[in-house]
């Protein structure tokens, strides 16, 4: 129970990868702040699972793309727990369309939720972590920060900004005892992906598996395990890094095929 007595805040933790991260941190002893924006029900259900593990959990509705929302989220955390040890910036949103169809409103929306939120959440986190001798901040990025994915231009730019912020914060927060890193998952087997797969006649997931040297897709629990490791003492000398977790998907050069054994 390496996180016993620790308080963790995971943004966007009612469902998907954020939920898996919150559950993993709770399984390892942390009390949680579950944050949602639009979907209260899954957030309340996630909190119930955490309470069934005999950990504390509060549910806070807040839009992390809004500065007042961030202030409210951290004020609720401070009121309930009096401090913070782990911050995971997982929430993301975005206007997915080609560059020529992007609008300033979509840019602002995406950048504010995916990138600006890290900077201003980190300011609160520093205030709440410093009296406890430090803490950990982990952000969830995406390989779209440096690879060109369809309709991903603005989200990709926001993830590139998130990664740059991760490096700056890692250096500036090190004297405060705060370890800052990011995790960059490849294609993760979420409910959204399974739904997308059915829309595409069930071709998307098998093709992605065939292109993955590890022979399967990344699961939300894989990402959660990596986040937990980055928040552990064993990872304390990893600073400002963006750790890709994709089963090797990104590695083969064009023309190199992945030979998977017959199953």
Ligand X SMILES: NC(=O)c1ccc[n+]([C@@H]2O[C@H](COP(=O)([O-])OP(=O)(O)OC[C@H]3O[C@@H](n4cnc5c(N)ncnc54)[C@H](OP(=O)(O)O)[C@@H]3O)[C@@H](O)[C@H]2O)c1
Nearer CB in complex with ligand X: 8/113: 113
**159 belongs to the catalytic site:** yes
Nearer CB in complex with ligand X: 18/135: 18
Q: Smallest distance from the beta carbon of 190 to ligand X, in angstroms?
A: 5
Q: How many CA atoms lie within 13 A of 121 on its CB side?
A: 35
Q: Smallest distance from the beta carbon of 240 to ligand X, in angstroms?
A: 18
Q: Smallest distance from the beta carbon of 262 to ligand X, in angstroms?
A: 27
**200 belongs to the catalytic site:** no
For ligand X, the binding residues (CB under 6 A) are 11-12, 14-18, 35-39, 63-65, 90-93, 113, 140, 142, 185, 187-188, 190, 192-193
Active-site residue, selected from the candidate residues 6, 81, 159, 249 = 159
Q: Are 201 and 1 in contact (CB under 8 A)?
A: no
Active-site residue, selected from the candidate residues 6, 41, 103, 152 = 152
Q: Smallest distance from the beta carbon of 1 to ligand X, in angstroms?
A: 26
Nearer CB in complex with ligand X: 30/182: 182
By beta carbon distance, the residue nearest ligand X is 16
CA dihedral over 194, 200, 201, 204, signed as positive or negative? negative
Q: Smallest distance from the beta carbon of 110 to ligand X, in angstroms?
A: 10
210 closest CA partner among 260, 143, 262, 261: 260
Nearer CB in complex with ligand X: 51/147: 147
Residues noted as catalytic? 152, 159
């Amino acid at each position: 129970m390496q996180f016993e007595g620790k308080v963790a805040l995971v943004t966007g933790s009612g469902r998907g990868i954020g939920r898996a991260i919150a559950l993993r941190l709770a399984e390892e002893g942390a009390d949680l702040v579950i944050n949602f924006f639009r979907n209260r029900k899954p957030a309340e259900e996630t909190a119930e699972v955490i309470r069934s593990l005999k950990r504390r959990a509060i549910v806070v509705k807040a839009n992390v793309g809004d500065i007042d929302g961030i202030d409210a989220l951290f004020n609720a955390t401070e009121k309930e727990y009096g401090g913070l040890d782990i911050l995971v910036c997982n929430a993301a949103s975005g206007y997915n369309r080609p560059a020529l169809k992007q609008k300033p409103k979509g840019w602002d929306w995406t950048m504010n939720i995916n990138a600006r939120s890290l900077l201003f959440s980190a300011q609160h986190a520093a205030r709440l972590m410093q009296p406890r001798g430090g803490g950990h901040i982990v952000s969830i990025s995406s390989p779209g920060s440096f690879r060109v994915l369809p309709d991903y231009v603005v989200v990709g730019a926001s993830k590139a900004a998130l990664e740059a912020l991760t490096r700056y914060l890692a250096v500036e927060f090190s004297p405060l005892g705060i370890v800052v890193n990011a995790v960059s998952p490849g294609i993760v087997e979420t409910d959204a992906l399974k739904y997308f797969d059915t829309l595409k006649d069930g071709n998307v997931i098998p093709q992605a598996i065939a292109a993955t040297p590890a022979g399967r897709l990344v699961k939300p629990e894989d990402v959660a395990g990596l986040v937990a490791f980055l928040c552990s003492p064993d990872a304390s000398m990893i600073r400002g890094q963006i750790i890709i977790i994709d089963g090797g998907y990104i590695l083969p050069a064009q023309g190199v095929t992945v030979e998977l054994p017959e199953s």
